[in-house]
Amino acid sequence: MKIDTTVHSGYTAISIAGEIDMYSSPALRDTLLTMAKKKEAIVIINLKDVKYIDSSGIATFVEALKKMLSYGGKLKMAQVPDRVMEIFNFSKLDKVFDIYGSIEDAANS
Amino acid sequence: MSNPIVVTIPSHPRFLSVVRAAALLAAEISGMSCSEAEDIKHAVDEACSNVIKYAYQCDCTRKITVKFDDNQEGFQVIIEDSGNKSRLEDIKIRELDEVRPGGLGIHFIKKAFNTVAFDKKKKNGNRLLLTRHKNTDKTA
CA dist B124 and B102 (Å) reads 27
pLDDT given at position B86: 85
Domain that holds residue B23: 5-133
The string of pLDDT tens digits covering residues B11-40 is 999 999 999 999 999 999 999 999 999 999
A56 touches chain B (CB under 8 A): yes
| B46 with A54: Cβ contact below 8 A | yes
Is residue B30 in a domain? yes
Taking Cα atoms as reference points, which of A58, A60, A45 lies closest to residue A4?
A: A45
- Find the CATH number of the domain harbouring B25: 3.30.565.10
| CB atoms closer than 10 angstroms to residue A72 | 8
CA dist A94 and A39 (Å) reads 24
B42 touches chain A (CB under 8 A): yes
Is residue B140 in a domain? no
Mapped onto helix, strand or coil, the DSSP state of residue B79 is strand
B101 touches chain A (CB under 8 A): yes
Q: Where do the domains of chain A lie?
A: 2-108
Is residue B106 in a domain? yes
Is residue B138 in a domain? no
Q: Which of B24, B44, B99 to mutate to test the interface with A (most CBs of A within 10 A)?
A: B99
B140 touches chain A (CB under 8 A): no
CA dist B113 and B132 (Å) reads 5
Taking Cα atoms as reference points, which of B19, B45, B99, B11 lies closest to residue A58?
A: B99
Residues in A closer than 8 angstroms to B52, CB to CB, are 22
- Res B51 pLDDT > 70: yes
pLDDT given at position B101: 60
**A2-108 maps to CATH 3.30.70.20:** no
| Cβ-based neighbours of A91, under 8 Å, separated by 6 or more | A58, B96, B104, B107
Distance of CA B37 to the CA centre of its chain: 13
Is residue B70 in a domain? yes
Q: Amino acid identity of A28? A: L
Query: Lowest-confidence range among A79-93, B1-15, B97-111?
Result: B97-111
Q: Confidence band (pLDDT; 50, 70, 90) for B140?
A: very low
The string of pLDDT tens digits covering residues B92-137 is 666 656 666 667 899 999 999 999 999 999 999 999 999 999 776 6
Mind telling me how many Å the CA of A104 is from chain B's nearest CA?
27
CA dist B100 and B103 (Å) reads 8
- Res A108 pLDDT > 50: yes
Q: How much of chain B, in percent, has pLDDT values that exceed 90?
A: 76
The string of pLDDT tens digits covering residues A2-57 is 999 999 999 999 999 999 999 999 999 999 999 999 999 999 999 999 999 999 99
Contact B16, A26 (CB under 8 A): no
Mean pLDDT, rounded, for B76-84: 97
Say how many domains are in chain B.
1
pLDDT given at position B104: 87
